Structures are given as structure tokens and as C-alpha cells.
Structure 1
Amino acid sequence: MTTLCVAGGTGQAGREVVRQALDAGHTVSVLSRRVPPPGSAKHHDAAAYFAGDVTTGDGLAAALAGADVVIDCREGRFGKPQKEFADGGERLLGVAHQAGVRRAVALSIINCDKSAHSYYVSKAAKERVYARAELETVVIRATQFHSLVEMIFSAGAKIRLIPVFKGVRFQTISPREAAAALLEAALEPPSPEQHRVRTVGGPEVLAMKDMAASWKAITGARGKVLEVPLPGAMGAYLRAGLNLMPEQRYGTETFVSWLEKRRETL
């Protein structure tokens, strides 16, 4: 069995990586800014939790001690965490290398290097850090999660206007399957290629308006589906189809099947 350290192991994808790794019998340590309380949805009893901060280096050595592989699921969506996202990745890799960790795997976003959106720019900057690391690295670029689109619909439904972006399609993937891809990369045999990037996508490409219709039917939500333009860098990225890669259909859990499994919590 392998000893894994999951950085950002209390987030959406990180929790799934932790759960799947524990189910497979691996030893897991979790690095997060705050240790979640036992009994909470973010806490797995069989994992060891460490409070740490990649922006300062505090707690990293303790979390990484004895790990064979580190899986980096950190998000850094806003503010200071986003601004220091790449630097934090470099600090994490540096401590991992000193600790004898043999491989680092990072979650990223499809074609993040082709977007001017600040969150995607931070992801691309961290990818460049991984590409020059002293230890072996694998970057897993995923298409957008099902939960992102569901969140947009849910937010709009509060005011009875469900937005769909003009000219936009999605190839969403479940967080569970993105986590599986990260774990596969962590456990694969050593490679002669020091740094690798691969993309995993959802099982189908759908117009956003069709996804909204499915979401309404399954959740019973009320509200008018309203087609709106999405300006700025994110709109340009989505309209150009840079969030799609039909030839890389890794996932099998569709948006509809994911919604049906979560029907009672939506």
C-alpha cells in the first residue's frame, strides 16, 4: 500500500481523493488550513489531519513526513490564496522533495493556460511550477465539475431566473471521477517522463440550456430559464469551447445521473 498526503483534502475533490484512497487501503494524511472536527462531512476517521499553510510553509513537513506521493487539490479561488497559489505550490513541492516524496500530482483545469480569467491564470502558473519541479509530477486537467453548473442554476433559482450563457456548452465531470483520475496518477508505476500533463473530461457535451432543463425537471425548481451573454475572459473562454475535449471522455457519470444521486440534497 502507498502512503499519500492530500493537500487541500477537505475541499470538494480532496475529500473524494481521501475517501477513495482510504477505501483502497492506503495510508492517508491530509493537509489543510484548518483541521475539520471529527464527525463533520470533511473528516474521515481513518485519515491523519495536519493544519498547515503553503503560503508560509508552516505544518508542511509534518504532513508530508513518510509520504510516497502528495496529491495537491488546493483551490485558491479568491484573494490572497489565489495570488499566492503558484508560490504555495512551489513551497509544497520543495518541502515534499526534501521529505523524500517521489511524486506530486496536481488537480488543474482544462486549457487554463488559454484563459485570461484570474483563477485560470493562477492554475496555469502553478502548472509551470510543477513542470520544473525536482520530483516527478503529473498534472490532471479536468473539465468543469457538475457542481459548478448546478451552483449557477441554484443561485439563479433563488430569484426565479435561471441563467444559461449564450453559445456555451459544457462537458462536466463528477468530482468523484476527477478524484479517481488523481488517485490513478498517484499510484501508477514510475515513468521515464519526469513531468506529465493529461486531461480528463466528462462523458458528454451538452448545451447549457439543455442542462438547465434537466436540472429543473430533477430538482423541481421553479424559475424562468433566461439566456444571457457572459462577458469578459470567462465568457470568451467558454464560447471558444476551450472547456471541451470530447476525445478525452474519462468520466461515465453524466450530469443527469449525478443530479439524481443527489436529488434529496439539492
Structure 2
Amino acid sequence: MTSICVAGGTGQVGREVVRLALAAGHSVTVLSRHVPPTGSNRHHDGASYFAGDVTTGDGLSDALAGADVVIDCLEGQFGKAQKHFADGGARLLAAANRAGVVKAVALSIINCDQSTFDYYATKAAKEQKYAESTLETVVVRATQFHSLVAAVFAAAAKVRVIPVFKGVGFQSISPVDVAKVLLLEAVEEPSSQLHRVRTIGGPDVLDMRAMAVSWKAVTGARGRIVQLPLPGAMGAFLRAGRNLIPEQRIGTETFVSWLEKRKESL
């Protein structure tokens, strides 16, 4: 049994890490800005929840006490959280070091250091903090989640338009498949390499139009599929295929199978 602290353990991937770790018999604590209520889909019986904030350091020592490994699933997409994302990672690593944690595993994004898009740049900056740590660290870079692509379609479908970006494909992945890899890396025996980066992608590389057709078929949504350009840093990143890694197809949950499981809530 390993004692694992999951930072961001109430988020999309984090709560799957918690579920899988508990099912495997590990001791699990969760660090989150807010402790979820019992009975909610963000709360798993058997885990201990601690309120904390990596931007200030509040609550970190309590959540990390006794942990062997920390799995960092924290996000920083907007505002203060994005501005302090990298520094928050450094603060978490420092607290983990003080608590006697021996390994830190962080979730990141494929080729985030090859984009000037703000969110990706903060991910790359946080990766650098992990590379500088005195702890053994593993950064798991994942391709975009199935839910991201579905959300793009759903948002635009409200006005009966389903956008597909010109020259763009995705190798989207299930949060569950990402969580499995994070947990596997967390419980692996110590490595001779102090800092490692592993990149994983979903089981299929799909044209965005094909994904839109599948999304319409599963959800029954109405709307016209329209090809549009995607300008800016994100458009350049996607058109260059930097979001793809065909040689690392991880997991079995395809975009369509993921949609089928959730079609009532999409």
C-alpha cells in the first residue's frame, strides 16, 4: 500500500485518480481548494479531504503529512490560478519535500512548451519547476480530453452551428485513461532518472469533422457542421499536429465510446 496525496483530487482527472487509488487499496488524501460534500460526485468515501491553496501554501502541510507520493492534477486556467500556476507547483513541491514525500507526479499537456498560448505556457513553466525539484518527478503530458472537443461542439450547437477547424485533428483521451497512467507512475519503484517526462495520447487520431459527425449521431444534436479557421497560437499549434502522438496510443476508451457512456448528460 502506498500513501498518496492527490492535489486537485476533485477535478475531472483528479477524482478518477482518487477512485482508482482507493480501489487498489492505497491510502488517499485529497488537497482541494474546497472540500466537497459527502455524497457528491467529487467525494469518494475512504479518502481524507483537506482544504488548501497552493497559491498561498495554506493547508499543504496537513494534506501531505505521511504521504509517500503526491499526484498533482491541479489546474490553473483563469485569473489568479493561472497567474500563480507555476509558483503554486513550486510551493507544492517544497511542502512535499518538507513532509518527506519521495516522488511527485504531475499532469501536463502534450508539447505545451511548443506553444505561446497563455494556458500552455503556464503548464510549461510549471514543468520547469518539476525539473528543478530535488524530489523524483514524473510529468505526464496528455493529449486533449474527449470532453474538451465535445464542449466545443456543444457550445456552438446552441446556435445550430457545429464548428470544425480547418486542418485540425485530435487524438483525444479519456480522463480515466490518464488517471490510470498517473497512478501507475506514482506507485512505480524509484527510477535511476530523477526527472522524467512521459507523453500519452488517446487510442484514435481523428479528423475534427469525423468527430463532429460522431458527436451529432450520439447526442442527437441539430446543427450544421461548418469548417472554420482557428487563428492565433492555438490554431498554429493544432494545425502543426503538435497535439498528436500516434506512436503512444494509450487506453481503450475512444471518443465515441466515451460519448455513448455520457450521452444523457451531454
Q: Given the two structures, how large is their TM-score scaled by the length of structure 2?
A: 0.99
Which residue pairs with 1:240 in the alignment? Answer: 240
Q: Is the 8 A contact 1:113 1:124 kept in 2?
A: yes
Cα deviation, residue 98, structure 1: 0.6
AA of the residue aligned to 1:240 = A
Which residue pairs with 1:168 in the alignment? Answer: 168
Does the residue aligned with 2:225 lie in a helix, a strand or coil? strand
Cα deviation, residue 168, structure 1: 0.2
Distance 2:40 2:250 in 1: 30
Map residues 68-147 of structure 1 onto 2, 5 A cutoff.
68-147=68-147
Cα deviation, residue 177, structure 1: 0.2
Distance 1:88 1:134 in 2: 16
Deviations, residues 131-178 of structure 1 (Å, cap 9, x unaligned): 010110000000000000000011011111111111100000000000
Distance 2:33 2:258 in 1: 29
Structure 1: gaps (5+ residues) = none
Which residue pairs with 1:29 in the alignment? Answer: 29
Cα deviation, residue 87, structure 1: 0.2
Does the residue aligned with 1:38 lie in a helix, a strand or coil? coil
Which residue pairs with 2:46 in the alignment? Answer: 46
Q: Is the 8 A contact 1:52 1:58 kept in 2?
A: yes
Map residues 152-191 of structure 1 onto 2, 5 A cutoff.
152-191=152-191
Distance 1:102 1:55 in 2: 22
Segments of 4+ moved more than 2 angstroms:
none
Structure 2: gaps (5+ residues) = none
AA of the residue aligned to 1:2 = T
Distance 1:227 1:187 in 2: 44
The percentage of counterpart residues that share the same residue type is: 71
Q: Is the 8 A contact 1:135 1:194 kept in 2?
A: yes
Distance 2:252 2:111 in 1: 21
Q: Is the 8 A contact 1:200 1:251 kept in 2?
A: no
AA of the residue aligned to 2:68 = D
AA of the residue aligned to 1:216 = K
Distance 1:247 1:13 in 2: 23
AA of the residue aligned to 2:136 = E
Distance 1:262 1:37 in 2: 23
Deviations, residues 20-54 of structure 1 (Å, cap 9, x unaligned): 00111111000010101111111112110000010
AA of the residue aligned to 1:262 = R
Distance 1:232 1:75 in 2: 22
Q: Given the two structures, how large is their TM-score scaled by the length of structure 1?
A: 0.99
Cα deviation, residue 251, structure 1: 2.0
Distance 2:71 2:109 in 1: 15
AA of the residue aligned to 2:144 = Q
Which residue pairs with 1:194 in the alignment? Answer: 194
Which residue pairs with 1:228 in the alignment? Answer: 228
Distance 2:79 2:51 in 1: 20
Distance 2:34 2:4 in 1: 19
Deviations, residues 84-107 of structure 1 (Å, cap 9, x unaligned): 000000000000001000000000
Does the residue aligned with 1:92 lie in a helix, a strand or coil? helix
Distance 2:147 2:68 in 1: 31
AA of the residue aligned to 1:215 = W
CA RMSD of aligned residues (A): 0.6
Q: Is the 8 A contact 1:51 1:59 kept in 2?
A: yes
Does the residue aligned with 1:12 lie in a helix, a strand or coil? coil
Distance 1:181 1:44 in 2: 20
Q: Is the 8 A contact 1:112 1:123 kept in 2?
A: yes
